[in-house]
Chain A
């Protein structure tokens, strides 16, 4: 059971906008930055969003992040087939004094 809650799956057609939610609580999401990681099939995860809504260089602006209270969201606009991947949210948890992950959301591009 993950500390952060994500939907196990999401889907969309090319060009659509999809969102992935990440729900937590006061010691984690509400009090700390949220990060998102993308894991393409058969590869290691890579950073997608830092500090709630900042994109590392090289990440298309089709990807955006937001946070409100104890929840965060990742939005992907103009969906493309290469976006098909697993997406994980993560944040620091002040109670556990460590990083906690969501269970991951498998995005399928139909």
Chain B
């Protein structure tokens, strides 16, 4: 069974940092791009970041550039999202999502399996 389990969320003060992890199982992790999508409380979905299967290419939403860093460790079947300079507007559930096409690239990819999400709350 394909499974994604996020961890690392929690309460952090404005300006603080947090690292989210997403542990994957049930598929050939190194063949798929991975994505992060977030959802603020009561709001819609927002595409945050993506990484190609070999980690060589990354994407960030314009509003996040310079503050978030995505990475992956294919030996551990894990993708990470390092978040710094956190703001109140970053408060959201962060979902780890497996890419659909398995081409390795995040370009023109779609979303297949979603994790259960991890809540990040930025507040003093």
Contacts and interface: CB of A to CB of B under 8 A. Distances in A.
Contacts of B110: 33, 35, 47, 50, 90, 99
Contacts of A101: 44-47
Q: Give the most central of A32, A44, A45: most B CB within 10 Å.
A: A44
A45 B45 contact: yes
Interface residues of B, number: 22
B32 interface: no
Contacts, number: 55
A2 B107 CA distance: 20
Given A44-B114, A92-B107, A99-B110, 7 more contacts: A33-B108, A35-B110, A35-B111, A44-B117, A50-B100, A99-B35, A101-B46
A88 interface: yes
Nearest to B60: A98
B38 to A, nearest CB: 11
A96 B100 CA distance: 20
A46 to B, nearest CB: 6
A104 B44 contact: yes
A45 B39 CA distance: 10
Interface string A86-101: 0010101000111111
Interface string B98-109: 001000000111
A21 B117 CA distance: 27
B47 A99 contact: yes
